[in-house]
Amino acid sequence: MVMRSMAVGVLCALVGVGCGGDDEEQTRSCSVAEQTGCAATQVCEEVEGAEPACFEPVTLKGRVYNSLDDKAIAGARVLARDANDAVISRVAVTKADGTYELAVPARRDANGAPVKADVTLRADALAYETFPRAPRVALPIDLSTAAGKPLSIASAATEIALLPLSDSEGLGSISGVVHADQPGGTLLVAGGATGAADLDGSYTIFNVAAGEVTVKGYAAGLALDTASATVSAGKETTGVDLHATGDATAVVSGKVEIVNASGGSATSVILVVADTFNEATARGETPRGLRQGNVSGEFSIAGVPDGEYVILAAFENDALVRDPDTSIGGTEIVRITVSGADQPVDESFKVTGALAVVSPGASMMDEVSGTPTFVFEDDSSEDLYEVTLFDALGAKIWENLEVPRVSGSEGVTVEYDGPALVSGMIYQFRATSKKDGTPISQTEDLKGVFLYK
């Protein structure tokens, strides 16, 4: 134990910080899990090749604002998540000017510098759409880029523009606590509205329609009871707690069949809570842990709580999409109900190559002004194309259902001729190729996204 304490003490001396005091006992007791043994302003972090040590935290600094008028949003809840959507930070609540500071855990190297690790942000606020929600994605934030004293990151990825809901009248909020081991990141759902639990289990769900609702919680491996709440417009219903009832052990399994795909060779499968699924956009929210990546054949998702789900394949940008040809088997949206038992899906999910987006939104969310022009890869076997424009709230703004086929060209160009677009609004165009009236391919779920200025 003395050797361990000396190693930690030497490391802390090298990086110029203390480990909760000068005596050996405080140094030795530095605990990542319990965050003990460090000075009040420090946190206990994992260290590559050594025992945990105390450091000044890495802080994300940013602002939450209205995307349409740039006005600050006070009272928004911001938290950090890892690659599996598990919450890794406490919740930060934005100030009157919309700013926030969020301390996040960061693994360190032997010199005390944060090592490369990507995190993303989630933000919720009353009368605004949750961020991120497809087609909007949260930009990854590399913790190794933290700089200054104390270490912090302020970038485009920490600035969060929220979209105001088109109709927020009659909405209220619900708050409570998830009583369970490791409740952080639990997805809370009430009437289609969602929230995420803090590390201590506390949560708030904004934008719940007034009336009687049932609150449910979802996370891999976690079984929770449900709670009822009466929501009043413009008010917060407090004390709506959920409690662990045991472990969720059900397994959802099936098979993905990749056909006619020259680009992608593997994809992901996710379980979306049915109450959050949007029929128009074919998207919804996935609880922590209910995802399997790198799927090229069979998949198996364990620890699925009871509930109703929609299974989606090829949701991420992987050069693949769910086969849109509904005239053949394996292409329908699959819905399941889990009630304690395993749920094998007999029919395979057919996934095919995507139509590549050229612009806007091929690799990032572009800014567009004037009259947008949509450009995408030509499908050599098509008769025609359908091109549709959605706003980030999922509303269909415009469509052209008879874009003629092209020949001798690598790309298809379609000029927008619909209603005036709103400055500050985020949009996504989608293209579908058709042959003999049947869809055969389409652009990817998370591409073709742009900010209109």
pLDDT in tens, 7-49: 444 444 444 444 444 433 334 457 787 777 888 888 899 999 9
Look up residue 404 and give its amino acid.
P
What confidence category does residue 1 fall into, taking pLDDT thresholds of 50, 70 and 90?
Answer: very low
Q: Are 377 and 442 in contact (CB under 8 A)?
A: no
* pLDDT computed for residue 40 by the predictor: 83
Q: From 172, 243, 244, select the one nearest 213 (Cα to Cα).
A: 172
Q: Are 224 and 307 in contact (CB under 8 A)?
A: no
**Per-residue pLDDT at 442 exceeds 70:** yes
Residue 232 vs residues 117, 208, 211: alpha-carbon distances, Å: 41, 9, 7
Q: Which tens digits make up the pLDDT trace of 368-389? A: 999 999 999 998 888 999 999 9
Going by the DSSP 8-state scheme, the letter that residue 108 receives in this structure is B
Burial 108-124 (b: 16+ CB within 10 A, else e): beeebebeebebbbbbb
**Per-residue pLDDT at 50 exceeds 70:** yes
Name the percent of the chain lying above pLDDT 70.
Answer: 92
* pLDDT computed for residue 328 by the predictor: 67
Q: What is residue 78's three-state secondary structure?
A: strand
* pLDDT computed for residue 166 by the predictor: 85
Residue for token digits 């990086």?
A: 15
Q: Are 119 and 86 in contact (CB under 8 A)?
A: no
Q: Which tens digits make up the pLDDT trace of 95-125? A: 999 999 999 999 999 999 999 999 999 999 9
Q: From 302, 305, 301, select the one nearest 224 (Cα to Cα).
A: 305
Q: Which two tokens stand for residue 288?
A: 């922590």
**Per-residue pLDDT at 317 exceeds 90:** no
Give me the mean pLDDT over the 236-253 stretch.
97
Name the percent of the chain lying above pLDDT 90.
Answer: 68
Look up residue 201 and give its amino acid.
G
Please state, in angstroms and rounded to a whole number, the distance separating the CA atoms of residues 46 and 349. 40
* pLDDT computed for residue 309 by the predictor: 97
* pLDDT computed for residue 12 by the predictor: 44
Phi (first) and psi of residue 23, to 5 degrees: -80, 150
* pLDDT computed for residue 330 by the predictor: 63
What confidence category does residue 281 fall into, taking pLDDT thresholds of 50, 70 and 90?
Answer: confident
Q: Which tens digits make up the pLDDT trace of 159-193? A: 999 999 988 999 999 999 999 999 999 999 999 99
* pLDDT computed for residue 165 by the predictor: 92
* pLDDT computed for residue 10 by the predictor: 41
Q: Which two tokens stand for residue 334?
A: 């699959």
Secondary structure percentages of the chain, helix, strand, coil, to 5:
5, 45, 45
Residue 290 vs residues 165, 186, 248, 430: alpha-carbon distances, Å: 28, 11, 12, 27
* pLDDT computed for residue 136 by the predictor: 82
Q: Which two tokens stand for residue 423?
A: 């400055």
End-to-end Cα spacing for the chain: 60
The C-alpha angle 162, 184, 151, rounded to 5 degrees, equals 70
Q: Which tens digits make up the pLDDT trace of 319-360? A: 888 888 766 666 688 899 999 999 999 888 889 889 999 999
**CA 345 to chain CA mean position, Å:** 25
Going by the DSSP 8-state scheme, the letter that residue 274 receives in this structure is G
Beta strand pairing call for 343-344 and 307-313: unpaired
**Per-residue pLDDT at 146 exceeds 80:** yes
**Per-residue pLDDT at 62 exceeds 80:** yes
* pLDDT computed for residue 7 by the predictor: 41
Average pLDDT, whole number, for the chain?
89
Q: Which tens digits make up the pLDDT trace of 288-316? A: 999 999 999 999 999 999 999 999 988 78
